[in-house]
Amino acid sequence: MVEGIGAVLTGVALLLVLMSTGLPVFAAFLCINLVAVAVIMGPTGYGMFASSLYETTTAQSLVTIPLFILMGEVLFRSNSVEVLFRSIDTLVGRVRGRQYVLSILLATVFSTLSGAAMGVAAMLGRSLLPGMVSRGYDARMSAGTILAGASLAPLIPPSVLVIIIGTLAGVSIAGLLIAGILPGLMFAAIFLTYCFVRTWLDPSLAPAETDDAPIPTAREKLWALIRIVPFSIIILMVMGLILMGIATPTEAGAMGVVGSLMTAAIYRNLSFRMMGEALAASVKVSAMILFIMASSKLFSQLLAFTGGATAMTEWVVGLDVSRWMMLFLLMALPFLLCMFVDQIALMLIVIPIYLPIIERLQFDPIWFWLLFLVNITVGGMTPPFGYTLFALKSAWEDATLAKVFSAAWPFVLLYMLGMVILALFPGLTTVLPSML
């Protein structure tokens, strides 16, 4: 058992060291795999290596990844999100702390169109945050709402991270996608409640008059609703078809791409140039993710071959702690590591180790892996090295990194509160997947 655990710890440590040097994630996995195969199995092991690469790169479930990425790229590059921005701005109307509400709602809606927290944080950091600060809104709280809302992107479907987790963990991708809807809305409600309470306790956080624009009329609000109908159709095409059991995630992703092209055409922003740019960007990101997953597949197989995964499972299960304490320990490790390690890289390292442990502890897989997803997402906005923090900082040029860090902490605590709620009430996670 000691040798197996030592093999696991050595492999993970070497991976982290290579990635800390700036080596691409897939290259770090590739180096470890090649050396490990040569040492453990010899030249005959390279046949297994080639088979592993082929099996991963031809997995049908991974087709959903480029489709979801392409859908988001088309919507963002066609400037269709500008229509959504103006429409939600009109619908929010005049309330105290209006810009906070607008920030959270925009980030939540954009999260359904793009699974990238960094992209949403950078976009709102450039477009919304300067105006909030200039209107007299508290800069830290404004930045915090953007960070918190953007971090919903991997949770609210469609989500690329969900597809990766579902593929690696052998969990229903459709079920895991659907499972994120209610928790995502719950987190958004928690953030809104926090902003309303804070502005009520301290009115100086939000000016009484948010802008000089007239109060939107009923006709303007109706027109705003009409203009966001195409986006509602996209969401229905993706999530509605999966929930009703009509389409698989891959088929729903294809329909989402069709819907995004139709939306761009409705808003007269569809062009061959835009389509080419969106396709090129999608191919680049999708290829990177596929390379990473292909390079990591053999890593998990080597863990099983050396007995490391089994030894680690026996050791963890043998600890004299309660199930709740075990859940806390299993969540604490990725939360801390995700402050320093890329989310995808962390999942590829941790999931193969966690899989047999989860089976032995008999945790509900949908419930556990959704908690895991929330966990690593929050790690991405937690100082000192959360990637979402740096994405916002790059867009918010007037702020110091210390100010961005201080803006994140209250919402990190709110995320932790939400995770406790999800842990205590698993029905919030499992009720929709049970309908599939």
Predicted structure pTM score: 0.80
Q: Which of 183-187, 288-292, 346-350 has the lowest mean pLDDT?
A: 288-292
Q: Is 248 exposed, middle or buried (0-12, 13-18, 19+ CB in 10 A)?
A: middle
pLDDT of 242 reads 78
Q: What is the pLDDT of residues 41-50, one digit of tens each?
A: 777 667 766 7
Q: How far apart are CA 335 and CA 337, in angstroms?
A: 6
The whole domain housing 7 covers 2-435
| pLDDT of 2 strictly over 60 | no
Contact (CB, 8 A) for 76 and 83: no
Chain-wide mean pLDDT for the chain?
Answer: 81
Q: What is the mean pLDDT of the segment spanning 153-160?
A: 83
Contact (CB, 8 A) for 164 and 170: no
Q: How far apart are CA 110 and CA 156, in angstroms?
A: 10
Indicate the pLDDT class of residue 210, thresholds 50, 70 and 90: very low
| pLDDT of 305 strictly over 90 | no
| pLDDT of 368 strictly over 80 | yes
More confident of the two residues 74 and 194? 194
Indicate the pLDDT class of residue 385, thresholds 50, 70 and 90: low
| pLDDT of 141 strictly over 90 | yes
pLDDT of 184 reads 93
Query: What is the identity of the amino acid at 62?
Result: L
Q: Give me the number of domains the chain comprises.
A: 1
